[in-house]
Structure 1
Amino acid sequence: MREPPTDRPPDPAREARFGALYDAHFAHVTGYVRRRADDPHDAADVIAETFLVAWRRLDDVPSGDPARFWLYGVARRALANQRRGERRRRDLTARAAARLGRDLATARPADTAPPELTAAFRALRADDRELLGLVAWEGLDAGEIAVVLGISRNAVRIRLHRARRRMTHELERRGLGAALPDAARVRANPMEGNP
């Protein structure tokens, strides 16, 4: 049996009554909630909330079998509250996604790199793309990148050097090394400077 919450001074008689209520009706409440909740984690939250309310309002809980019906009522309201909250979260997410979609549709592209440069960049490993992107697009230095990635500044420098070398190799492999203007090469392949 779970220990009742301790939001008031210990009262052995109260704790014994709650323990008896919990032992007698936990399986009933669990069955009631599990048959109505789609997700086991949601069900667990509702069951916990039901018994928390029972503890707080123990003086209102009827004796005997009517206690089960009282607990069902509490569980029913907890389920309804949970569903309302989930519906609000879904609606908020949908509104935010719609707004973001509109904003992205009207936003000017941040980078107009030549398609062959984009293809060379995308041919790199994800880790290399992330490093080069943090430098070229976000304008971060090695110390800032270290914070983002959770690694040392020295590790950033080493990885960035290797990523730049692989980008240069990819550009040369595609015959783009000398063909791109310097500004485009620096934007996608920030070889100059040592952050």
Structure 2
Amino acid sequence: LIEPALIGLGKIYLDQRDPDAARKVFERYRFQFPLGAYEGEVVLLLVKTMRQQRDMQGLLQLCRTWLLRHPGHRERPAMYLELAKTLGELEKLEESALAYEEGLKAGAVASSDTLLTYADTLSRLNRHERAIAAYQSVLEKKPNVRQAEWARLQMAQHWTALKQYDRATVALAELGRADDEMVNRLSASLKGAAQTVRHTGKAEGL
């Protein structure tokens, strides 16, 4: 009963927003029960705790070390996503994108939140085609309204960057009028850019 009791105590501290106390409990569990039945659950709780503490370097080391030592663990896909998220917060975007890919390949839950963060990472790396594909996969997950608006806007931006103005126009038409005014302003700017290019092209063709 000691193992579940320790986990329960750590969860109470987490609920009380006392990550320092929670971390001590979870680290004690890992020290006492290195091969414990709840190792996977505890390490993910420890990740959550360290994220609350904003100990990003410690969290990065934990994720990497755990993945090295647990090549066949069932929580491996979830830990890859935690690694990807941590790398992204540390602005290590190339490594973050790779970690997302490894996690999704390993069978991590491809939620709309996860896919959107992955797509945004690719977007920041200017991986236009891959970002478009990732945003499309977000839309296929039936995301909430704001997520869908953001995905369509980003697809339009990447199509514009690729000079695929017709496809950008289609994405903007699917976006329509958004709830978010910032999205509407960006959408109007992209529409204007596409129209300018079209008019310029027609003028050159005369």
TM-score normalized with structure 2 length? 0.25
Q: Which structure has more helix as a fraction of its residues? A: 2
Larger radius of gyration: 1
Higher RCO structure (Cα 8 Å, ≥6 apart): 1
TM-score normalized with structure 1 length? 0.26
